[in-house]
Amino acid sequence: MPWWVFAFASATAAAATAILAKIGVEGLPSNLATAVRTAVVLVFAWAIVFLRGEQHALAGLRGRPLLFLALSGVATGLSWLAYFRALQLAPASRVAPIDKLSLALTIALAAAVLGESVSWKVALGAGLMVIGSLLTLAG
């Protein structure tokens, strides 16, 4: 399957995540809700690794890749903790668009850190994403 099929699947799952999390966080501390979600993701991810026989690659996991995967995990944890707290405090229809500012931030960071090129179309699209997200703040 091409990459964009997985990207659309990711977007669809992320949309479902916002709604399911908003319902699930009701009446719970947001950090507990995040911990439960994280435990489910952990079990699910490891199950897939073992089902696909990919656990053998663990022996080669060290150094720079391990460091950056660990840092990515910390960033994911911080993102999820903040996301669940925001969902607890505001409607999902307001939280999700602000959370999706990560799209524009990713484009900027990919250019600055990874040296990826940004065409005027990509820059315009990212700018429109930012404007659209900020417009949701006005209600």
* Per-residue pLDDT at 49: 95
Residues 6+ apart with CB under 8 A from 101: 129, 130, 133
Helix (H) or strand (E) holding 137: none
User: Cα dist. 22→11, 18, 32, 120 in Å?
Assistant: 17, 6, 13, 36
- Residues 29, 81 share a domain: yes
User: Cα dist. 31→13, 35, 86, 87, 97 in Å?
Assistant: 21, 6, 11, 12, 21
- Residues 105, 81 share a domain: no
- Residues 129, 72 share a domain: no
- Residues 23, 57 share a domain: yes
- Residues 125, 62 share a domain: no
- Residues 58, 83 share a domain: yes
* Per-residue pLDDT at 26: 87
- Residues 26, 70 share a domain: yes
Instruction: Read off the pLDDT band of 82 (50, 70, 90).
Output: very high
Calpha distance 96→33 (Å, rounded): 17
Q: Which residues of 33-56 are buried (b: 16+ CB within 10 A; e: fewer)?
A: bbeebeeeeeeeeeeeeeeeeeee
- Residues 118, 74 share a domain: no
- Residues 73, 18 share a domain: yes
Tens-place pLDDT, residues 23-64: 888 889 999 999 999 999 999 999 999 999 999 999 888 898
Overall number of domains in the chain: 2
* Per-residue pLDDT at 55: 92
- Residues 79, 27 share a domain: yes
Structural domain boundaries enclosing 77: 3-90
Residue 95 inside a domain? The answer is no
- Residues 81, 105 share a domain: no
- Residues 13, 62 share a domain: yes
